[in-house]
Amino acid sequence: MMEKIGINILIGLMLTMISVPPILFLFWYFKDKNQSQHSILRNFPLLGRVRYLLEMLGPEFRQYLFDGDDEGRPFSRTDFSNIVIQGKYLKTVIGFGSKRDFDKPGLYIKNSMFPKQKEEMKVDTLPKISTKRYVGTEGLFSRTEHLEKVEVSPWTLPDEDAIIIGPDCKIPWKVKGPVGMSAMSYGALGENAISSLSHGLGMATGSWVHTGEGGLAPYHTEGGGDVIMQIGSGIFGVRNVDGTFSWEKFKEKAKNPQVACFEIKLAQGAKIRGGHVEGSKVNEEIASIRGVEPWKTVDSPNRHKQFNDLPSLFDFIERLRDEGGKPVGIKIVMGGSDSADELAEFMSSTGQGPDFITVDGGEGGSGATYQEMADSMGMPIKSGIIYCDNALRKFGVRKKVKLFASGKLFSPDKIAIALASGADLVNIARGMMISVGCIGAQKCHTNKCPVGVATTDADHQKALVVDEKKWRVLNYIITLRNGLHSLAAASGIDSYTQFDRSHIVYKDHFGKVTGLEKLFPYPDA
């Protein structure tokens, strides 16, 4: 099959070349023969052109034709397909079995001999939410698919089981859903993408929008849902003209009823340093929101200037909490098994600290990043969340703080494993991007995203229609929650909040199974 495809491609190239006027071939020949930039073109002018054409088309060929369904990175074809199907059709049902390679080592969720019945689950199925899903058929030339209204259950936690963040704050945050949007700034994503996410997550209820470090934009609040406002090292949105922190602007943001809490970004999995946005993305509106010059590349400092150690960080957190009246958390990346020990010990000795900690995995990343950091710096989320949870338990402060996990946690089973490993809640970035149309073109940093997601260019953004994509976001969240509760019921627990390490096992390449609680024992406080 692959050989036939390859032959057809070569035939197509040959036919294309035949249709080119001979004079153009001569021009290319002598031009390439005499240039000094490309060695292959200098020795093989015409064949070199074919080589560069194939090299240019290589990523698309691999993605759609040659890579297996589960081979693509950072997301496979199966990953993309599953997210798209959930968003378009509200479905997770498959036929003929799983494509997972069960001979490979990996984590599995333990099933119970006596699973819970639906009526035994602690979950809100009312009031119903109105959404739209696609019905009909979608062929190459004839597309009869259309949106159809449907009522779905929210699958949120009941009030008595809601997760309370910052219970001692003037305005605590009550969270009734397990998943929400991870940090993605307006600027990294365009306004159409942010608006679609805001509307979809708002309609889902019990979820949240995350501003990323780019500041609070009007598109983040369009959907009417809760918002996490991040304060990065560039302090965008809360800075004075001279770049210093503005307490007046911070208090103004805190007065917004949709801003549920603030997150201080110390690091993120994609890059263990300040953020980066190309100048081509920084239009006048984004520049105004961030407090920077338009059309100039923005690089945040590697760390905050407001603090430089744990005592000054904790003082800053205390003042933010006092001035804003809302919970304040931090975002970190674990660098080793002891990365959070000093933090947890200081929390224990002072009685101070953040209301929540977001642990970002080294595999994270939604927009532009640096190759040398993306591949090797920062622990993956499966290790990071366990070691952070262990540190907090070891110093007796685990109950004082909630844990968010992020890093390719885009499916119910991955979320369940993260919750069992120690997370209370989960942030999703690229899964959200895929739900609004991302195709993995990996042009996030160029402002030329072909589907209008990671771009502020008006022409490219026309591809993304908010009134269509918002339903996909809503459906994606609903199917994640539904699937998560199904996994909890199959595990014999009545709520996803009860997942712990005893519900997860690791199977090695010999077939030997070890419980996660034995691989990573809970420490004594």
> What's the distance, Cα to Cα, between the start and end of the chain in Å?
60
Percent of the chain with pLDDT over 90: 66
pLDDT on residue 197: 98
Report how far apart, in Å, the C-alpha atoms of 4 and of each of 1, 7, 57 are.
Answer: 5, 5, 17
Task: State the pTM of this model.
Answer: 0.89
pLDDT-based confidence at residue 97 (cuts at 50, 70, 90)? confident
Distance CA 300, CA 132 (A): 40
Distance CA 147, CA 89 (A): 9
pLDDT-based confidence at residue 92 (cuts at 50, 70, 90)? confident
- Answer yes or no: is pLDDT of 369 > 80: no
What average pLDDT does range 350-369 have in this prediction?
A: 85
The chain-wide mean pLDDT, for the chain, equals 90
Helix (H, G, I), strand (E, B) or coil at 407: coil
* Tens-digit pLDDT profile for residues 104-146: 999 999 999 999 999 999 999 999 999 999 998 877 777 789 9
Using alpha carbons only, what angle is made at residue 477 by residues 130 and 270, rounded to the nearest 5 degrees? Answer: 150
pLDDT on residue 273: 61
CB-CB contact of 385 with 291 (8 Å): no
- Answer yes or no: is pLDDT of 393 > 60: yes
Q: How do strand 259-265 and strand 226-231 relate by DSSP bridges?
A: parallel
CB-CB contact of 286 with 456 (8 Å): yes
pLDDT on residue 281: 81
Element (DSSP H or E) covering residue 131: strand 129-135
Distance CA 262, CA 344 (A): 20
CB-CB contact of 495 with 157 (8 Å): yes
Instruction: Copy the structure tokens of residue 319.
Output: 């003042």
pLDDT on residue 3: 47
pLDDT on residue 104: 94
| Cα–chain center distance at 197 | 12
Instruction: Copy the structure tokens of residue 509.
Output: 């390449």
pLDDT on residue 299: 78
* Tens-digit pLDDT profile for residues 135-188: 988 777 777 899 999 999 999 999 999 999 999 999 999 999 999 999 999 988
- Answer yes or no: is pLDDT of 274 > 70: no
pLDDT on residue 416: 98
pLDDT on residue 293: 84
pLDDT on residue 494: 97
* Tens-digit pLDDT profile for residues 199-258: 999 999 999 999 999 999 999 999 999 999 999 999 999 998 888 999 999 999 999 999
CB-CB contact of 185 with 450 (8 Å): no
DSSP secondary structure string for all residues of 91-104: ----SS---S-TTS
pLDDT on residue 16: 57
pLDDT on residue 2: 47
pLDDT on residue 367: 57
- Answer yes or no: is pLDDT of 79 > 60: yes
Helix (H, G, I), strand (E, B) or coil at 313: helix
Report how far apart, in Å, the C-alpha atoms of 128 and of each of 131, 203, 216, 281, 412 are.
Answer: 10, 11, 30, 39, 21
What domains does the chain contain, in order, with CATH numbers? 2-66 (no CATH), 160-454 (3.20.20.70)
What average pLDDT does range 17-32 have in this prediction?
A: 71
* Tens-digit pLDDT profile for residues 320-335: 999 999 999 999 999 9
CB-CB contact of 352 with 314 (8 Å): yes
CB-CB contact of 99 with 79 (8 Å): no
